[in-house]
Structures are given as structure tokens and as C-alpha cells.
Chains A and B, each alone.
Chain A
Amino acid sequence: MRRYARLYWHFLLQRFKILLEYRMNFVIGAGSTVLLQAAGLLAVWSVMRQIPDLNGWTFDEILLVYGLITLSKSINHMFADNLWIFGRAYIRTGGFDRFLVRPINPLFHLLADRFCHDGIGNFVVGIALVLKASLALHIAWTPINIAYCLVAVVSGGVIFIALNLLTAVSAFWIIDSIPVTSAIFQTHEFAKYPLTIYSRGIGIVMTWLIPYGFASFYPAAHLLGRPIGVLAWLGPLIAVALITLAYRIWLWGLSHYSSTGS
């Protein structure tokens, strides 16, 4: 464990050396995600200023939901972005074979190979949104609430990573897994808003099948003191169960891997 932490630190240092060679890329990469978020938020604000609430949720409460999912997403974006291009950049080129002959876990190697700085923009936006919402809503930052928030965001990040890992495994067979990953990933758009605005079916899917709801809506509802029962506490359990399942399936895919040759 300690060895892996040290290794990750080394990978990260190398990565930052590369990034600092291209400072402008660094700024634009991190900044571009902020701009796209701003367009979406400006749209929500323009609508919400006309109405007191959306299905019982005020603008600031929606910001909390939006901020929490942005934070969870940024964890996935910063630390696991390579899962997107796994097929295209590592399997097709044969580069993945290098990882298999090294004495470290190939999945760890894949994730550590590229820290993605573009996610920093989302991380900053997420923090700002959650802070803004909590100040406006007078959410007390007691140690319990801080701990709850941290666990919720990390669980949300793990849910994002687990779903991307599950879908990236398809690269072992079809090489380019980006379409499969994005088919599932896209559905997180639902979880940017309170799940109660959708039909029952969508709510159930976002809770039990593609559980992005635990990355935004349920923790936000709990922090706002809404009665959602046990769902407030299920996030970490679901995250652990999902990442375990995804890792098992990854190992199974790995055992069926035959290199692309050449």
C-alpha cells in the first residue's frame, strides 16, 4: 500500500513536469471545463429567478446538488481519466502490454499513468458551488457535516470511476470502448437536478441501476434535512459494492485479453 502511494507520487511528479512544459495548455484545459459549466449554470439561474422553487427546491438547493455531482465527477476526471482512452490509446497501440510485464498492478499503472489536469477546473467549480449554497442555506459546517460531505463526494467519485471501469472492460473485446463508456456516463446529466422532478422510472434507475443519485441528490437531501431515510447512508456501501464488482469484471476481462499483435 505504502509502495503504491510512493509510486503514485512519482507518476504525479513526472506528469506535472510534462504539464508545466506546456503552461498554456494547462490553463486552457482546466479553464475550458469551467466555461462550459458556467453556460449551464447561467441557464438554470435565468430560469430559476422567475420562479420561487423547482419542485420544492430553491435555486441554492439546486446549486448544492449541482455542486456535489461536479465534485464527484472531478475526482473521476482527475484520477481516472485514462479509463476513457484505455482502448484507443493503450490496447490498440499495444502499449498496455508494457504494463503487463511490470511488477505492479496493471490497473493501478493505467490510472497513475495520466493525472488529468482538466478536472481541476471542475473541482474548483464544485467547491465554489457547495460553499456558495451552504452559506446561502445556512448549513452549519459541523465536524459531522464536513465528514458526511467528504464521504459523500469520495463515494460519488468512486461510483463514477466504477461505472467507467465497468464499461472500459469492453475494450478488451471491441478495442474502442469510448462509445460504451459515454452511453452510461451521459446519464449523470439526470443527477444534476433533484431526482424528484423525473418520472418514477428514471428515479429508480438513477438510484439502483446507475446510481449517480448517490453522488448528488441523496447527500444534498440529507444535508438539507429532508427525510430520505436510509438512502442518506447507502452511498458508501453502494460505491464499495460497485467498485468491487467492477474490479472483478476487470480481472475477468484481463484474463481474456489477447494483445492486438503487430
Chain B
Amino acid sequence: MTLALRRKGRLYRSIAVMTFKQYLAYNLWFWVQLLGQILMMTVFVFFWRAVYAGRGTVGGLEQQQTITYILLAQMIAPLVQWGQILPMGDLVREGMIAIELTRPVDLQERFYIETLSSLGYSLLQQVLTVGLFARFVFHLQLPSDPAIWAAFGLTLLLGNAILFCFDWMFACLAFYSTEVWGLHVVREGTVMFFSGALVPLVMLPGWLQSVASWMPFSQALYTPVALLSGIIPAAQAPQVWLVQLAWLAALAVGSRVVFRLAVRKVTVQGG
């Protein structure tokens, strides 16, 4: 009797310890990622303060504007970082793509809804964590005019849809190559720079600015953040939306066509 009880006790204890460790692991990840973001934010703020030391404007921007821009850009950066090629690569490699394609739901629409929902979640999480840190430690200054916030919201939404359409085309490369990790890294490096996550794009030399303007990435980060930090005046918002709608129309059509062509190439591996 006591022996059986003791055995149960040992069993339960090891289960409890395992569960505890599992939760600890997930929580640790959350805190470490948060720490990493705060760290990068700190590096950036000190870097830019040193850039502005004893100088009024750099590249046409004042210190306050640039710091606000950088803090916001660091908050938005995780939203543009990932793309669709890794999940698509998984679907192709595991052969799940065959099942996904037979479902009575359009695959691209499904991925878009998922992206939209994760945009909402990530935004909330970013505001409540690094956002509060930026506000109270680095005195992030935000506009009080609700019109600017509305313009920012719409621009962010449109920019996110544009980036999604680009990423959908890019993810189609998973049908041709199994080397998706390398492709992901190439995308990440390009997007981080040309979306304006590291430097406000207006500070780049002319030729780099024109390269950036021929890529869709700035629509998802630079444009909304520049609106919110006052680099782009709110009065220009309608023009911004026209440009964004043009991008969106072109990439939406493009992404449908590319997917339809690429999906013919699909070879379901295994099984």
C-alpha cells in the first residue's frame, strides 16, 4: 500500500516538474525576446543620440523626429520580419500542401486572414511591452491628433497587405527550391534594410532611396511610421494611399498569377 503510494508520489512529482519546466521554457522565450528588443532599442537610441550630439539636423531630420521614428520602427520591425516562405516551405516539404489545395477554402485568402490576425495580436503585444518601455524610458512622443492615428492605421493595414502579396509570390519559390532557409535570410536582410527598420529612408543617399522606392517593403514600415513621427505630413496621406492602392492592385494580381503558375510545379514529397 505505502509502496504503491510512494511510487505514485514519485510519478506525480516528475510529471509536475516536467510541466513546470515546459512553462518555464515558453515564458523564458517570451522574456528573452522582449529583452532582445529592448536591448536593440537601447543600442539604437544611444547610437542616434551620439549621431545628433552637437548637431541640429542630420539628413534633414531633427533629433526628436528621428528618435521617435527609430523607436516606432523597432516596434513595427517584428511585424515585417517573417514573411510566408518558411510556413510554405513546411507545407511543401511535409506534403501537407496536397491536402491544403483540396480544401474548399482559397489558400491565399486563408493565409491572409492569418496574417491579419497575427498583425493585430503582435501590434497589441508590442504596444504593451516595448511600447511602454519606449514611452517611459526613452520618452517616446506620439501625436495627439486622432486624424494622424487613423491615417497611420489605414496606411499600416494597406502596407501589410502589400507586403503579404509580395511574400506570397516569394513563398512560391518553395515550389521550386527546398532551400527555403537561405531564401528566408536573403529576404530578411533585404526587407530589414529597405523597409526602413534600421534608418529613416529619407536619410539614404539618392540612389539607395530610388532603389527603395522600387521595392514594396517601405510601404509596410517606413510609410506608416513616417506618418506617425511627422516625417511625412498628415496632409500627404491621400497621395500615400493612392500609391499604396496602386502597389496593392499590381501585387494582388501578380500574386494570383504567380501562384497559379507555380503550383503546377508542386511535387508532393513522400507518402
Partner of A40, one of B25, B39, B51, B198: B198
Chain A's closest residue to B184 (CB) is: A32
B204 within 8 A of A: yes
From B28, B181, B188, B190, give the contact of A179 (CB < 8 A).
B28
Interface residues of A in 42-71 (CB under 8 A from B): 42-43, 46-47, 49-51, 54-55
What 1/0 mask marks residues of chain B from 21 to 45 whose CB sits below 8 Å from any chain A CB? 1001100110110011001101100
- Stretch with Cβ within 8 A of A (4 or more), from B52-60, B87-95, B102-110, B259-267: B52-60
A250 within 8 A of B: no
B208 contacts partner chain A, Cβ-Cβ < 8 Å: yes
Contact between chains at A189 and B40 (CB < 8 Å): yes
**Taking the complex as formed, is B250 at the interface, i.e. its CB lies under 8 A from any CB of chain A?**
no
Q: Known: A43-B193, A54-B50, A197-B49. Contact between A28 and B181, CB under 8 A?
A: yes
Q: Is the CB of A46 within 8 A of B205?
A: yes
Q: At the interface, yes or no: A150 with Cβ under 8 Å from chain B?
A: no
* Residues 7 to 57 of chain A near chain B (Cβ within 8 Å): 24-25, 28-29, 31-32, 35-36, 38-40, 42-43, 46-47, 49-51, 54-55
Task: Please measure, in the bound complex, the distance between the C-alpha atom of A28 and the C-alpha atom of B179, giving whole angstroms.
Answer: 9
> Do B185 and A43 touch across chains, with their CB atoms under 8 A apart?
no
Interface size on B, residues (CB 8 A): 38
Q: Are B182 and A31 in contact (CB under 8 A)?
A: yes
Is B39 touching A186 in the complex (CB atoms < 8 A)? yes
A43→B199 contact, CB < 8 A:
yes
The A/B interface has a contact count, at CB < 8 Å, of 99
Question: Which B residue's beta carbon lies closest to that of A261?
Answer: B14
A32 touches B182 (CB 8 A): yes
A39 and B189 form a contact (CB under 8 A): yes
Q: Closest A residue to B199 by CB, please name it.
A: A43
Known contacts A46-B205, A186-B35; A28/B199 CB under 8 A: no
Q: Contact: B189 with A38, CB < 8 Å? A: yes
CB proximity of B2 to chain A, nearest CB, Å: 24
Known: A28-B182, A197-B49. A46 touches B203 (CB 8 A): yes
14 further interface pairs, Cβ-Cβ under 8 Å (given A36-B192, A183-B32): A28-B181, A31-B182, A36-B185, A36-B189, A38-B189, A50-B59, A55-B50, A174-B28, A179-B28, A179-B32, A182-B32, A183-B36, A190-B42, A190-B43
Nearest first, the 7 closest Cβ-Cβ pairs linking A and B are: A28-B182, A32-B185, A43-B198, A179-B28, A197-B50, A35-B189, A39-B193
Residues of B within 8 A of A (CB): 21, 24-25, 28-29, 31-32, 35-36, 39-40, 42-43, 46-47, 49-51, 53, 55, 58-59, 179, 181-182, 185-186, 188-190, 192-193, 198-199, 203-205, 208
